[in-house]
Amino acid sequence: MISPFIWNNAVVLTVAVPLLAAFLCPLIGMFTETGRKAWVLAAAAITSALALFTAWKVYTYGTWVYVFGASVPNLTVPADSGGIPVRIMFEVDAMSALMLVIVAILGFVVILYSTMADDKRSGKAGYYTLFLLLIASIIGMVSTGDLFNFFVFFEISGLASAGLIAYRVEKGRAVEAGLKYFLVSTLAGIFMLFVIAILYGQYNALNIAMIAERMQYTSLDKLALVLIIGALATKAGSVPMHFWTPDAYGLAPSAVTALLVVASQASLYGLFRMTFTMYNLTLNAVTVGWILIILGVLSMFVGVTMAIPQKDVKRLMAYHAISQTGYMLLGVGTGLAVLGNVAMMDAFGQMAMEGGIFHIINHALYKGLLFLTAGAIIYRVGTRDMNKMGGLGHKMKWTMVFFMIGALAIAGIPPFNGFASKLMIYESVYLFNPVLAIIAMVVSILTLASFVKVFHSIFMGPQLPEYEHVEEAPRPMLWAMGILAVLVILFGIFPQHVVNYLITPAANALIDQSGYITAVLGGV
Amino acid sequence: MFANLPYYTVVALTIIGFATVLLKRNLVKMTMGLNILTAAVNLLIIVLGFRAGGIAPIYTMAPQTEMVLPTPQALVLTSIVIGVATTALLLSFTMVIYRKYGTTNVDEIRELRE
């Protein structure tokens, strides 16, 4: 059914298809407006299908290594290369595959949403080019097995995101947000390049697996690790480098914001990939683990306390996004802190990591859903200020239902998906350090309180006269939100299946450094 | 001493670049600072790739088959291209901000601080 060409090359096509579609998009738009819409939707659908196929293949047959420019795609170390994998390669293991699943779902959903939400705006040619570029770069970031290639996709995602954030100038405010984001992102990019220089200078390799095998953890490597954590935690929007997040998330068009969440998570993935796969046991696991935990706890707490007084609905959600990133750092950081200690790893480390990783996909789903509902409200009402909203539940019933699902999921109420992953984090982190688990629970309660307030001020109350003619959001936007809402509920009702099929292999892939190395360098 | 001169240049450029980014309040100057920082890292990669007496990997001209691997140069080329795109985008943002706000001073660009 699937042609051998796709079977063998799907992992590369996931990047190639959106790239090609991105740059053909303005050309097609010159002739037909509807044609471009169909083109963008088809490109997103094909990309998502290919990404899901790649993920399925990886989960079924194991790590997929694809070498560019080699006579056969799995020739990682050519005979005349002196044992060094000289070519750029993609290496998709279970963790990357999980990220591919996230991009596949969110990428398609936001494009579907955006075809309607941005229909009446101008300048769509460049908009969709950047949109597809961002999807391509996120896929590249999570699939690559090469450090410099990671840097290139990292920069592309920075450029595309900044362009998208600033796209609707909004009297200069959106450009200000874009500029702030881009300054930070460029600085992070320079850090990454410096890391590449340090590692290449020492180990003569750019391949992550090769560097991992040769890793000595010298003092230069420690400097590189600091720069990696600094750069990637900044791009993931963790406190204390979070200042760009509320501006960028708040002012970007809503469909873009939902995708920016995934772009941040790709940086988070990069952070986990570097610490677990490249350094693994060579680093001082307890110290670095605690650094991640502290970053996580700070993010959780600062994010939620800053969220409560916000009046702008998207800014508020952006602060909650920071807070939720903290849960992922907390879960995976706990796993890192006990890495190498088999007894503690079995007792709770594995579960903490699974909780943290599960939270990544859950967060992408419900946060994406929440940003899309916020976008639908802004689309119909025309204001972001929650004090000016009210009584919208009378007219926008479906949006209200979707918002409720998202809000309950982010607050960790059963039976939604946020509960499943948060419970795993609470249970495991409690065994590691009870205080951390209690902070996590308190943050969860504050999140619930904040969203109850938001729900009340947007949807409840009598119908306001100025919103008499407000209608329900248009169909494609409802479908987009519906897909995410259904997934949020499904993941919440059947968490065990998701954990077994998707999350546990991903956590094992992160822990198992030798598996990643062997896939490239062969059996040692 | 003299052999390490490129590394000292890297350090000097890094310090100048960082100082410019952190201390200057003008967006154009901050962009310049970022460019200097990028140049510092590019120079570092090039210097790391230098091999005394190495042979350039031009196959038709090489006297022997043992040649220097041109990866660092390739990396820097890519990085320069990315740097150009970055600078272009930063400067165009600066332009829009100047048109809308009438200033390029980051201390006065504070519409978003709530």
Degrees, nearest 5: CA angle A213-A216-A218 = 150
Question: What is the ipTM metric for this complex?
Answer: 0.93
Distance set, CA A303 to CA A221, A274, A403 (Å): 31, 25, 20
Degrees, nearest 5: CA angle A336-A340-A345 = 70
Q: What secondary structure letter does DSSP report for A472?
A: P
Q: Do A189 and B21 touch (CB under 8 A)?
A: no
Name the minimum distance, in Å, from the CA of A368 to any CA of chain B. Answer: 23
- From CA A436, how far away is CA A60, in angstroms rounded? 36
The region of weakest confidence among A145-154, A387-396, A428-437 is A387-396
Chain B residues in contact with A166 by the CB 8 A cut-off are: 93, 96
Radius of gyration (C-alpha) of chain A in whole angstroms: 22
Three-class SS state of A146: strand
Residue A523 scores a pLDDT above 60 = no
Name the minimum distance, in Å, from the CA of A316 to any CA of chain B. Answer: 12
- Please check whether residue B44 touches A, CB under 8 A: yes
Distance set, CA A118 to CA A122, A127, A135, A259, B10 (Å): 8, 10, 18, 15, 46
pLDDT of res. B10: 94
Chain B residues in contact with A155 by the CB 8 A cut-off are: 82, 85-86
Measuring CA to CA, which residue among A166, A133, A165 is closest to residue A152?
A133
Q: Do A175 and B38 touch (CB under 8 A)?
A: no
Q: Do B90 and A247 touch (CB under 8 A)?
A: no
**Domain count within chain B:** 1
- Please check whether residue A199 touches B, CB under 8 A: no
Exposed, middle or buried: residue A196 (CB in 10 Å: 0-12, 13-18, 19+)?
buried
Q: What secondary structure letter does DSSP report for A394?
A: G
pLDDT tens, residue order, chain B (114 aa): 678 899 999 999 999 999 999 999 999 999 999 999 999 999 999 998 888 888 888 877 777 777 888 889 999 999 999 999 999 999 999 999 999 988 888 888 777 665
Cβ-nearest to B34 among A172, A175, A186: A186
B2 vs A291, more confident:
A291
Look up tokens 């677990």; give the residue: A276
Degrees, nearest 5: CA angle A155-A160-A165 = 125
* β partners of residue A346: none
Residue A417 scores a pLDDT above 50 = yes
Structure tokens at A58: 């990886």
pLDDT of res. B29: 95
- From CA A441, how far away is CA A429, in angstroms rounded? 11
Q: What is the pLDDT of residues A341-358, one digit of tens each?
A: 888 888 898 999 999 999
Distance set, CA A218 to CA A23, A198, A221, A223, A225 (Å): 44, 11, 5, 9, 11
Q: Do A190 and B86 touch (CB under 8 A)?
A: no
Q: What is the pLDDT of residues A170-216, one digit of tens each?
A: 888 899 999 999 999 999 999 999 999 999 999 888 999 999 988 88
Residue A482 scores a pLDDT above 60 = yes
* Smallest CA–CA distance from B113 into chain A, residue: A247
Q: Which domain holds residue B92?
A: 5-112
pLDDT of res. A350: 92
- Please check whether residue B36 touches A, CB under 8 A: no
- Please check whether residue B28 touches A, CB under 8 A: no
In A151-170, the residues whose Cβ lies within 8 Å of chain B are 152, 155, 158-159, 162-163, 166, 169
The sign of the CA dihedral A231, A236, A240, A246 is: positive
Chain B residues in contact with A201 by the CB 8 A cut-off are: 48
Chain A residues in contact with B96 by the CB 8 A cut-off are: 166, 169, 172, 175
Dihedral of CA atoms A156, A159, A160, A162 in degrees, nearest 10, equals 150
Measuring CA to CA, which residue among A22, A93, A39 is closest to residue A516?
A93
The residue-averaged pLDDT of A324-336 equals 93
- Please check whether residue A253 touches B, CB under 8 A: no
Three-class SS state of A268: helix
pLDDT of res. A103: 95
What is the SS3 assignment for A489-500? HHHHHCHHHHHH
pLDDT of res. A301: 92
Q: How far is CA B62 from the centre of its chain?
A: 31
Chain B residues in contact with A182 by the CB 8 A cut-off are: 86, 89-90, 93
* Smallest CA–CA distance from A149 into chain B, residue: B75
pLDDT of res. B80: 95
- From CA B93, how far away is CA A182, in angstroms rounded? 10
Report yes or no: A287 and A433 within 8 Å, Cβ to Cβ: no
User: What are the CB-based long-range contacts (under 8 Å, 24+) for B67-75?
Assistant: B69/A86, B71/A86, B71/A200, B71/A206, B72/A200, B72/B45, B72/B46, B72/B48, B73/B46, B73/B49, B75/A148, B75/A196, B75/A200, B75/A206, B75/B45
Q: Do B86 and A159 touch (CB under 8 A)?
A: yes
Residue B49 sits in a domain whose CATH number is: 1.10.287.3510
Structure tokens at A306: 């800053």
- From CA B59, how far away is CA A398, in angstroms rounded? 67
Q: What is the pLDDT of residues A242-264, one digit of tens each?
A: 889 999 999 999 999 999 999 99
- Please check whether residue B21 touches A, CB under 8 A: yes
Residue A1 scores a pLDDT above 70 = no
pTM over 0.90: yes
Chain B residues in contact with A169 by the CB 8 A cut-off are: 96, 100
- Please check whether residue A479 touches B, CB under 8 A: no
pLDDT of res. A91: 92
pLDDT of res. A524: 46
* β partners of residue A433: none
pLDDT of res. A390: 83
- Please check whether residue A231 touches B, CB under 8 A: no
pLDDT of res. B1: 66
pLDDT of res. A104: 94
Q: Do A180 and B112 touch (CB under 8 A)?
A: yes
The DSSP H or E segment spanning A240 is: none
Degrees, nearest 5: CA angle B32-B37-B40 = 125
- Please check whether residue B103 touches A, CB under 8 A: no
Report yes or no: B39 and B76 within 8 Å, Cβ to Cβ: no
Look up tokens 């088999």; give the residue: A342
- From CA A137, how far away is CA A144, in angstroms rounded? 10
% of chain A residues with pLDDT over 90: 68
Instruction: Give the number of beta-carbon pairs within 8 Å between A and B.
Output: 90
A469 vs A487, more confident:
A487
Q: What is the pLDDT of residues A63-116, one digit of tens each?
A: 999 999 888 887 888 877 777 888 899 999 999 999 999 999 999 999 999 988
Residue A239 scores a pLDDT above 90 = no
* Smallest CA–CA distance from A182 into chain B, residue: B90
pLDDT of res. B69: 82
- Please check whether residue B113 touches A, CB under 8 A: no
Place A446 in a pLDDT band, splitting at 50, 70 and 90. Answer: very high
Q: Do A179 and B93 touch (CB under 8 A)?
A: yes
pLDDT of res. A189: 95
